Amino acid sequence: MPSHSTPHTPSPAALQLDNQVCFALYSASLAMTKLYKPLLDTIGLTYPQYLVMLVLWEQDGLTVSDLGERLFLDSGTLTPLLKRLEVQGHIARLRDVQDERRVRITLTADGRAMRDRAEVIPQCVLQSSQCSLPELAALTGQLKNLRDKLNPR
């Protein structure tokens, strides 16, 4: 009769929910999205739309592919977001004059004006987090480092 060795089983701690980095990230993301919702409702944006606008407030006139790279989104996810923002009057989608295959995204006057209304949001998030600015900056750096290790470009 062949001898069967017992397969290595992870320690119970390795499988406990509260010890999972994925769950800490997931539940923190849910809490953060819940915090942002009423803040974004005041300016009429969803969280993904807000992320698009943040990028465009930094650098207007990006191509759809540049925007997708910056947000880690594929065009299938990004295009419906952009169409909704265009219908709302916040952005314009224009064919690139040098390469008609590329679409450039530009802010409208309304989209630029929205930035002023959005400036209170980071301060509200900082207050709600009950963290200091250096603590949040350090956490942001750690999360970006983890993201880059998991998703090398």
Report pLDDT digits (tens) over 71-90.
Answer: 999 989 999 999 999 999 99
* Fold adopted by 44-116: Arc Repressor Mutant, subunit A (1.10.10)
pLDDT at 97: 79
Burial degree of 98 (CB within 10 A; 0-12, 13-18, 19+): exposed
Residue 13 has pLDDT above 70, yes or no: yes
pTM: 0.86
Residue 28 has pLDDT above 80, yes or no: yes
Do residues 115 and 109 touch, judged by C-beta distance below 8 A? Answer: no
Q: List Cα–Cα distances, 123 to 7, 19, 39, 55, 111, in angstroms.
A: 52, 30, 11, 18, 20
**pLDDT digits 0-9 by tens, 40-75:** 999 999 999 999 999 999 999 999 999 999 999 998
- Tokens found for residue 65: 């592919």
